[in-house]
Structure 1
Amino acid sequence: MNTENYVNQIVKHAKIASRSIASANTAVKNTALQYIAEGILSSTSAIKAENEKDVLAAQKAGLSEAMIDRLRLTDSRIGGMAEGVRQIIHLADPVGELLWGHTRPNGLQIQKVRVPIGVIAIIYESRPNVTADAASLCLKAGNTVILRGGKESIHSNIAIYKILTSALERAGLDTRGIQLIELIDREAIDYLLNADQYIDVVIPRGGEALIRTVVEKSTIPVIKHYKGVCHTYVDEYADLTMAEEICFNAKVQRPATCNAMETMLVHEKIAQRFLPVVTNKLRSSGVEIRGCDKTGKIAGNMKHAVEDDYYQEYLDLILNIKVVKTLDEAISHIATYGSNHSDAIVTDNVNSAMKFTREVDSAAVYVNASTRFTDGYEFGMGAEIGISTDKLHARGPMGLEELTTYKFVVFGNGQLRK
């Protein structure tokens, strides 16, 4: 098969399908989504069987346990996929929403109306649940979508893709509204990233290397999520029991995710009381601690954290700890080493909390809660397309509204510009 011709056919079909998908009414789109959710649940065994092929291949290839965890589909995760689709059904359809409008002195009625973006290409790694999440969100927002998952999840992705196209057909929608590039060679991505005549935006989901490659090669606008170097700062006014639970959850609950804590900052006034307790708890769960000199003196022998460590997105049971003298030093550390993803403060002091939320320039800023909540599902947005660390045109979890743009609709009765 000629890769260039294969990709060209897909992007052209996506552009053609975009017109009918954009004009589909809410009831029809919701019907298709209901078929997707039902199909996912009824095909659980088949999806798991295909997913097991991917997991075995990943194990033979020597992929890390963190990567394999991102790849694996359990009954619970498959059920979560279906529930995410159902949540999207119950969300308001953003297409056609009147954002702003007024009547000019000359009688022109000007409206700013929310509309679909058009054709979206999504390039992602490992997690096959992205196939269902991304397709469902794009469909509800009136977009066509081209999916290109990683080779490590190809069997899982194809199994889910068949459910998606079947649902479109049953609902009477153009099946080309959702397409999957089944070729696993990287050449297909290169052709995709240069199809600016047909694709309106590219959204990469995966490691930093993938995203930087997409940005470098794409002639199409890219919405990026480079990496999640997330921090939790334990303030001098923190409830230490709460802080211990929040920090443990942020690191251990699921370390292979982009919203897991990678560095814990601790105010020096509470470090002597807090660090021995929290480090013992973290170590008992297999966390490798890399600490500054002060942390090592307080909490015992550990690997010394060098400057490069503070830039790392480990996606594993590894944690940097640094003792800071002030809230300002904590904020400065986050500004220097963070990735504008998700950062938290634990404090009972309102002034500290408000200063942190004002000055930390991240997509999600937390007070007294785990960074693990940065997620479209947890934010009540339904399944998400990804978490953007950009500022234009979307930031944070990308739900339905972030998958739309707007246009101006102007009504007149013969007005001419003088």
Structure 2
Amino acid sequence: MNSLATIFENAHLAKKELATITDATINRVLNAIADEAVAQTSIILAENSKDLSRMDPLDPKYDRLKLTAERIEGIAKDLRNVALLPSPLGHVLSDMIRPNELNIKRITVPFGIIGVIYEARPNVSFDVFSLCLKSGNVCLLKGGSDAQDSNVAIVDVIKKVLLKFEINPDIVTLLPPDREATTELLNAVGKVDLIIPRGSQSLIEYVRDNARVPVIETGAGICHTYFDEFADLKKGADIVNNAKTRRVSVCNALDCLIIHASRIHDLSMLCAPLIDSNVVIYADEQAYNSLKGFYPDRLLKMATEQEFGTEFLDYKMAIKTVGTFAEALDHIAKYGSKHSEAIVSENKLRIATFQQQVDAACVYANASTAFTDGSQFGLGAEIGISTQKLHARGPMALQEMTTYKWVITGNGQIRQ
């Protein structure tokens, strides 16, 4: 492995070369990588099994770490989807002629070199590379030690294809998994243009608090679904079950069900589908009393303050009973992470108010929060879900991988 100084220098050289590659070539490369990923499935899974052998299967991160043939097929599909998308570069965001006849344009351009720090999610290696390549950015991948063998195999697949196309393989580099590499990356002022952390709240906070390079946060997902007094029970039961159990280790999974007190008699039916997945419920007193005798005792517990505001990443969920719509909004404002929030209601005014007043990147009405995903939003793939408000918010895909510059054309104008 080269020193970090050499890696940063090579990345800058690769950035210049990447700027000369046409979008048509980039699309061919992405499709070729998709084909190669599928062709190398057995090798990737063998390396992934080494990582899995070092992790407790009961660890919530185990599912994120695990690759399967089906998941690799899904990754390949996402790569091909990115290839189908139009280039995000060179878009004219504004074009004006000033009174002095200066032509001033604002045009989308790459950031340059992007460092992405992530934990036990090897699929991120493919996602990040595809979006960076399509948007003209060099990427430095800083995966966690939990997924090191998987990430090495994935980056080897990518570099193999790049070499076939005679493209500088330094447009993507997997950094060492140690803390020293993280420290150097966070302090690479003038060498790295942007850092994006993707993972646990502790990782995100560490990067935010220690980076000297600009950071875009992809925040933790503490997601709520509010079952309103005007809600449809069938819709609610399906939505809650899907949001909670479809895949518990992802950031858009449901963590807290909020129910209007006037519908507490429906709570047992609302939660009934969760029994099949052995979801542990931490219920407040009113919800606990309503579920007692209808929900298995082994899965029903009294909630404490700690359960509200927890991202479980597991088959666990809190329930909060509220007497008014305003209380539901207050609870979300206090405990949410500004990621994804949902309301189940048939009242149009209530829905409009919820979507207008809830401060989150994605606000749903009568749909599962599981849809917070770049691919589901038609964006091809994503780097992560941004919960901040500067530059990017929600799924960060191609458009969010660009910045802009001003291009000014004159005919001899001078300023008086």
Give the drift of 1:279: 2.7
SS in 2 for 1:112: strand
Q: Which runs of 5+ in 1 are unaligned?
A: none
Give the drift of 1:217: 1.6
CA distance in 2, matches of 1:48, 1:417: 63
Q: What amino acid does structure 2 have at the position aligned with 1:19?
A: K
CA distance in 2, matches of 1:280, 1:354: 29
| Structure 1 residue aligned with 2:34 | 37
CA distance in 1, matches of 2:313, 2:198: 14
Give the drift of 1:192: 1.3
| Structure 2 residue aligned with 1:288 | 280
Give the drift of 1:173: 2.1
Q: Which runs of 5+ in 2 are unaligned?
A: none
Q: What amino acid does structure 2 have at the position aligned with 1:280?
A: A
Give the drift of 1:20: 2.1
1:368 maps to which of 366, 369, 373: 366
| Structure 1 residue aligned with 2:194 | 201
Q: What are the within-5 Å matches in structure 2 for residues 336-355 of structure 1?
A: 336-355=334-353
Q: Is the 8 A contact 1:283 1:289 kept in 2?
A: no
Q: What amino acid does structure 2 have at the position aligned with 1:393?
A: H
- More displaced stretch, 217-226 vs 261-270: 217-226
Q: What amino acid does structure 1 have at the position aligned with 2:132?
A: C
CA distance in 2, matches of 1:147, 1:63: 25
CA distance in 2, matches of 1:34, 1:363: 31
1:266 maps to which of 259, 262, 267: 259
Give the drift of 1:14: 1.1
CA distance in 2, matches of 1:269, 1:130: 43
CA distance in 2, matches of 1:21, 1:328: 52
CA distance in 1, matches of 2:81, 2:15: 23
Q: What are the within-5 Å matches in structure 2 for residues 173-322 of structure 1?
A: 173-181=167-175, 183-272=176-265, 274-300=266-292, 302-322=300-320
What RMSD in Å do the two structures reach over aligned CA positions? 1.2
Q: What amino acid does structure 1 have at the position aligned with 2:128?
A: A
CA distance in 1, matches of 2:86, 2:218: 26
| Structure 1 residue aligned with 2:394 | 396
Q: What amino acid does structure 2 have at the position aligned with 1:176?
A: D
| Structure 2 residue aligned with 1:122 | 116
| Structure 2 residue aligned with 1:113 | 107
| Structure 1 residue aligned with 2:404 | 406
CA distance in 2, matches of 1:24, 1:217: 34
Q: Is the 8 A contact 1:22 1:118 kept in 2?
A: no
1:78 maps to which of 72, 77, 80: 72
Report whether the alignment pairs 1:50 with 2:41.
no
Give the drift of 1:206: 0.9
CA distance in 2, matches of 1:104, 1:170: 48
Paired residues, number: 410
Give the drift of 1:167: 2.0
SS in 1 for 2:231: coil
Give the drift of 1:18: 1.3
CA distance in 2, matches of 1:412, 1:171: 39
| Structure 1 residue aligned with 2:87 | 93
Q: Is the 8 A contact 1:120 1:143 kept in 2?
A: yes
CA distance in 2, matches of 1:151, 1:398: 24
Give the drift of 1:64: 3.3
SS in 1 for 2:367: coil
Alignment CA distance shift 1:298-1:189 (3 Å): same
What are the superposed Cα offsets for residues 234-292 of structure 1, whole Å, 9 maximum, x if unpaired? 111111101000001000111111000000001111111x2111233313321111011
Give the drift of 1:51: 0.7
Given the two structures, how large is their TM-score scaled by the length of structure 1? 0.96
Give the drift of 1:304: 1.7
| Structure 2 residue aligned with 1:172 | 166
SS in 2 for 1:110: strand
CA distance in 2, matches of 1:284, 1:17: 51
What are the superposed Cα offsets for residues 124-158 of structure 1, whole Å, 9 maximum, x if unpaired? 11110100010010000000000011111111111
CA distance in 2, matches of 1:112, 1:173: 29
